[in-house]
Structure 1
Amino acid sequence: MEDKTRGCSTSEDSDDEVYLQNASDEEELHFLSGSMPKLQLRNVKSKSCWIEEMGMGEVIEKNGKTWVTTGIVRSDKIYSSIEETLYLMELGDLLLLDTDGRNIPLTEMYKKVSDKKNGCRWELFEVYRHLKSLGNIVGRHGVAWSLKSIKNSYKPVDLEVTEESILVHMSSNKYELSISKLFGELQINDLRPDFYVYLPNSRFRKSSPADPSFLLYLCR
């Protein structure tokens, strides 16, 4: 039986059935760099709302086990970085909406990456995609998977934020999210890792991720 969760629940036990079709020519032609994986159109997708001020997607309906290893958890909500969001869109696993409920196409997200905003650029996205295609679990270096992971003594060496500084506050439907600032200010240089990488692991939990298998540095 299909397990479908609405809202931003952090349950990690649902799954969905995959239906494969070819990507449209338009989407392939607009892919600006690297080889695009074949688009997989699923009958039940997760849904996210793109929050421009944050440069992240907020999951509003999640399906399948994707979110066990994707996105960060704050105040029982899941937020995905631009590379996570775009990767899932390419797979056909995510429907992305703007705050007005309009579907956001792949081409628009490609442009956001090519503009080098939101802490990501094409080279980083291609590396992220490749690592994920191999089954690895990949997260932004310096950003904790969840607040519980901080409490459980998961302490990245250069994560200079406190639990209070990354709590989500909502007032009059306006997002005051310091996590967006955390993502936006990740100006990565040659001395700073880009991603945490974990080898495929069915026991992975964001609340207690343990140490990564390795850190990835992208040389400039």
Structure 2
Amino acid sequence: MEEIQDWESSDDSTAADLDLNLQDWNDEEHHLYKSGSIPKLQFRKDVSKGRWDEKMGLAEVVEKKGGMWTTTGIVRRGKLYCSIEEIAFLAERGALLLLDDNDMTIALKDIYTKVADGKHGCCWESFEAYRHLKLLGYIVGRHDIPWTLKGDRSHCNTSSPQGTLENNGESESGAEENISIIWQLKNMHINTMKLDFDVYLPNSKFRKSSPGNPSFILCLLRGNPPSEAELVDIEKDCKGISLKFCHVEHGRVNFFSFDRTELPVLP
């Protein structure tokens, strides 16, 4: 029988509860993530630029500056793309300038609107969970979306939408269309229980081409806590990797874990 044994929670003042090892934090990421609990618009001398593609629901990074890109964005056919949660997080810190098709700057409030709309595979609660983990120094990517397909033969088959992105001879428009399909598939389940983020411990030697297994997989709780049947089903999808749950309410981010226990037999 399954029972909630230990609900581990964390807010911005309890980073130690998440067993962080910040010794591997590189200087660039340390500068980027070091902040208080209240996000503030920041300004930096060297700013990357990305061009938003509404159809894809992604931004192509057209000018890359800083070391944060070693742990941010996905690479497809030699191009770097970042998701809406990555865009919002970097834009808050003045590390990314988002442009539209006419090279006009998209304001931060308009980026927030895109997040809140929930049309690009990320709702506001998901973004708050993402931001919280990034501020703690974790490396975070969307679950089951490879950072890069280089050297990843497991995704190089025609039955996988991810695997078609770097097939020989495919047009650039075909690659963009398939990236869009990935995000559309994620959007179909935006309000249901699903695995949201793969989370890695801070690591200055992290490589997108060989990231290894995440430290844990995060599932955002939407509504009521999961039933026993739902918990069993989603644990199967983790393939032995630790699973943590997250609940966001009024800006407070809480992390939970479930342990399987046997109840004593009463006489």
TM-score (norm 2): 0.63
Alignment of 1:163 with 2:163, yes or no, is: yes
SS in 2 for 1:78: strand
From 65, 69, 72, give the equivalent of 1:70: 72
1:182 is matched with which residue? 182
Q: Tell me which amino acid in the other structure corresponds to 1:136.
A: Y
- Residue 219 of structure 1, CA deviation: 1.1
Contact (CA 8 Å) 1:87, 1:129: kept in 2 or not?
A: yes
User: Which stretches in structure 2 are left out of the alignment for 5+ residues?
Assistant: 1-27, 223-267
Contact (CA 8 Å) 2:76, 2:165: kept in 1 or not?
A: no
SS in 2 for 1:103: coil
Q: Point out the structure with max Rg over C-alpha.
A: 2
Contact (CA 8 Å) 1:83, 1:120: kept in 2 or not?
A: yes
SS in 1 for 2:62: strand
From 137, 140, 165, give the equivalent of 2:139: 137
Higher helix share: 2
Alignment of 1:121-136 (within 5 A): 121-136=123-138
1:88 is matched with which residue? 90
1:218 is matched with which residue? 220
Q: CA 1:105/1:133 → structure 2, altered by over 3 Å: closer, same or farther?
A: same
From 108, 111, 114, give the equivalent of 1:109: 111
Contact (CA 8 Å) 1:190, 1:217: kept in 2 or not?
A: no
User: Which stretches in structure 1 are left out of the alignment for 5+ residues?
Assistant: 1-14, 20-34
Q: Structure 1 CA distance, aligned partners of 2:112 and 2:119?
A: 11
Once the two structures are superposed, residues 58-92 of structure 1 have per-residue CA deviations (whole angstroms, 9 ceiling, x without a partner) of 00000010110000000111000000011000011
Q: Structure 2 CA distance, aligned partners of 1:166 and 1:214?
A: 28
Once the two structures are superposed, residues 169-215 of structure 1 have per-residue CA deviations (whole angstroms, 9 ceiling, x without a partner) of 335xx974211210122024655210000010111000000000000
Which protein, 1 or 2, shows the higher relative CO under an 8 Å CA cutoff with sep ≥ 6? 2
TM-score (norm 1): 0.76
Alignment of 1:59 with 2:65, yes or no, is: no
Q: Tell me which amino acid in the other structure corresponds to 1:150.
A: D
Contact (CA 8 Å) 1:149, 1:206: kept in 2 or not?
A: no
Count of matched residue pairs: 186
- Residue 148 of structure 1, CA deviation: 1.4
